[in-house]
Structure 1
Amino acid sequence: MKLSVTIHRARLGPVEFKVIRPARPPVRAALVDRDRYLNAFLDQDAARLIGGLWTVAAASPRSLVHVPMRGNHAPAHGWPEAGTRQLDLVLLHHSLQFAPARWKELRARLGPGRPGTVTVPVPVPARSPAGGSPADDEARHHRENRDLFHQHLHAETLFMTGSAKVFRATADHFLDVARHGPGHAAAHPRNPHFCTRFHADAGILGDAREIHIEYCERWGPGG
């Protein structure tokens, strides 16, 4: 799978940061803060794109992967409740040690960037929810293990920080929605709901809330 991206570089003091964005940010995509957990609503193209960018994050430990989407329209069925807050998404490797509090400043310094293309290998579906053997699953629950996601919210943006291993192991959540969501919706018009989630019991979440990922075929005006 090939993705068209835009590559930006900007400095904060003596440090230069590289930010990768999709050349065409997803339109039928929304990330919603529901307090106890997070909801991602995606059509097929958006799910495939974000799955690819998830893999880009695994292969680019010195970059921030930014997915703008907080200004998008809601799905046709609307939000689960009023007053829902929409978010952008940033994926980054824990070794980058970027402070989310500096994101607004860095974002303001990003220019038009330069176009590029990245080739993304399609991940093999994991054999277990955590992406490995039972021994691997047990190791993931160890409190010093780094192969866990951590989340921060700043400047209307969700930061997903993790290791290359955990990004690779979880990209298929989005690709599964892209592969099976449209067929499920067509076969079950009265109950088109198709979803997956980053579950608390899967051993992939450290300081992070669950993420419910839902396929949505119909979107509101402008979406």
Structure 2
Amino acid sequence: MELRLREFRPRIGPHEHRVVQPGQPLRHTSLRDPSDSAPYGMLVGDHDGLSRLAGLFSFAAFSRHTIVHVTLRDCVPPVEGCGELVDLVLAHPEAGLRPSKWPELRRALRRDTPLTVRTDEARTERHARAWRERPYDRGQLRHTTHARTYFLIGGRDALASAATSFAHAADRGPRQKGVVKGRLAYMDSLGGEPAPHGDGSRHPEVLICFKAYPPYAHVKQPGH
């Protein structure tokens, strides 16, 4: 997949960071915070949004020193779900991102340059499969919410696994019953990739749902 991004090089103190954002916002994609007050979070997107999230997770998986920032708070909000609308940030530990410092870093995102990258879907699938085949010995994504942003910080294979979940949702979403009438379709979830809560009680599940935006004539189902 070809991704058009905006690249920032903000400097906080002696450290320079590399932050990328989608070149155009994911207008019809939203994320509701999977906090302790809600049983699960909900990410709702159309085909374009879910496809680009698959690419962004794939890019993040193989970019250890890059912070991927997806602005989702200013989307067209769906009526489904509960909880606060939040942005999404993906990073490896090597990127040196501390969520508590994110507001300062976000304010420093002023001058950007266009960037085009290509993701390798076959490579992403290989690493996702390797992650799924290691049920008792695999890294997971640390998660927290701060400053209206949901952070997922972790390694290559867990991010690659999440990328394949979004690719699956984007591919099969338009085929689901009722989506041409604006109905929501549950497709997949991020349940195993994020690490359990501190007490080990449960994983903070994020449901991945497909929802077309009106007018619905642009939704092409198989056979039509």
Which TM-score band (shorter chain)? 0.7 to 0.9
How far apart in 2 are the matches of 1:27 and 1:53? 15
Equivalent residue of 2:91, what SS? strand
* Greater mean deviation of Cα atoms: 16-25 or 30-39: 30-39
Residue 162 of structure 1: aligned partner: 154
Give the structure, 1 or 2, with the largest relative contact order (CA under 8 Å, sep 6 or more): 1
Aligned equivalents of 1:21, 1:190: Cα separation in 2: 28
Structure 1, gaps ≥5 residues long: 141-146
Which residue does the alignment assign to 1:178? 170
Count of matched residue pairs: 206
What is the distance in 1 between the residues matched to 2:56 and 2:132?
27
1:48 aligned onto 2:51: yes
- 1:88-130 deviation digits (Å, cap 9, x = unpaired): 0000002223110111101111113000100011247869xx7
Partner of 1:216: 211
Give me the CA root mean square deviation: 2.6
Shift of 1:25: 1.4
Q: Deviations over 1:137-169 (max 9, x none)?
A: 1213xxxxxx10111111100011010121112
Contact 2:130 2:157 in 1 (8 A): no
In 2 relative to 1, CA 209–187 (structure 1 residues): closer, same or farther, beyond 3 Å? closer
Check whether the contact 1:90–1:157 (CA below 8 A) recurs between aligned residues.
Answer: yes
Structure 2: distance between partners of 1:54 and 1:134: 16
Identity %: 26
What is residue 60 of structure 2 aligned with on the other side? 57
Whole-Å Cα distance in 1 between the matches of residues 214 and 33 of structure 2? 19
State the Cα distance separating 1:197 from its structure 2 match. 0.5
The residue that corresponds to 2:200 in the other structure is none
* Aligned 1:192-203 pairs, distance under 5 A: 193-199=185-191, 202=192
Deviations 1:63-100 (A, max 9, x none): 1000001121222xx1334xx31000000002223110
Contact 2:33 2:150 in 1 (8 A): no
Unaligned ranges ≥5, structure 2: 197-202, 216-224
The two structures have a TM-score, normalised by structure 2, of 0.82
